[in-house]
Amino acid sequence: MIRPVLLALFALLAVTPAANAHRIKTKTLQIDHPWTGDMAEAKPPFDIVVQMVIRNTGKAADVLTGASSPHAERIELVHAATGSQKAVEIKAGARVELSTKSVYLRVFGFNKLIDTYDYFPMTLNFKRAGAVKIEVMVEDVAIDLPKLIN
Ligand SMILES: [Cu+2]
């Protein structure tokens, strides 16, 4: 009886997006599944958006002040409604979703085609936690690049 149940469980895990999820942990931060869309049609250099969930597991608020990547000309925090912004605060115990529906990372001048399901390096800069190295996954979904508000 046990075996069919286990097989069914594994089959379920295989199709769950969470199977792709990766997590980066520091003493005070937990960063879940930083990802970007498929690059198949792009010709470098191009712009991409990066989305993720950041949890502050520490006892003090922290602030994401920016990011960089060896493959990017520059990276900005952009709010879908108000445009470029300097920082994102993550209160102690809070969970902030960086997404194209609110604030996300806009990567300008990305200079390398990364295969779907592969990763590329990025560094997030926090006021308290400092520089945090992450790997951004390229998902097999297309993201429409949000229009920039200036
Ligand atoms: Cu992931």
CATH assignment of the domain containing 120: 2.60.40.1890
Structural domain contains residue 84: yes
Structural domain contains residue 106: yes
For residue 1, report the distance from its CA to the centre of ligand 1, in Å.
33
User: Count of domains in the chain?
Assistant: 1
- Integer Cα distance of 87 and 65 in angstroms: 5
Structural domain contains residue 53: yes
- Return the percentage of the chain with pLDDT > 90, whole number: 78
For residue 23, report the distance from its CA to the centre of ligand 1, in Å.
7
- Integer Cα distance of 74 and 61 in angstroms: 26
Supply the pLDDT for residue 149. Answer: 64
Structural domain contains residue 40: yes
Structural domain contains residue 64: yes
Q: Are 50 and 76 in contact (CB under 8 A)?
A: no
For residue 35, report the distance from its CA to the centre of ligand 1, in Å.
7
pLDDT digits (tens, 9 = 90+) for 23-70: 999 999 999 999 999 998 789 999 999 999 999 999 999 999 999 999
Structural domain contains residue 51: yes
For residue 58, report the distance from its CA to the centre of ligand 1, in Å.
22
pLDDT digits (tens, 9 = 90+) for 111-126: 999 999 999 999 999 9
Planar angle of CA 15, 137, 83, nearest 5 degrees: 115
pLDDT digits (tens, 9 = 90+) for 86-95: 999 999 999 9
Global confidence as pTM:
0.85
Average pLDDT, the chain: 89
Residue 7 reports pLDDT greater than 70: no
Structural domain contains residue 148: no
For residue 135, report the distance from its CA to the centre of ligand 1, in Å.
9
For residue 134, report the distance from its CA to the centre of ligand 1, in Å.
10
Structural domain contains residue 147: no
Supply the pLDDT for residue 10. Answer: 52
Start-to-end Cα distance in the chain: 61
- Integer Cα distance of 124 and 38 in angstroms: 21
Residue 136: C-alpha distances to residues 7, 33, 81, 118 (Å)? 30, 7, 24, 8
For residue 150, report the distance from its CA to the centre of ligand 1, in Å.
31
Please name the amino acid found at residue 54: I
Supply the pLDDT for residue 19. Answer: 54
Nearest to 116 by CA among 65, 27, 42: 42
The parent domain of residue 120 ranges over 22-138
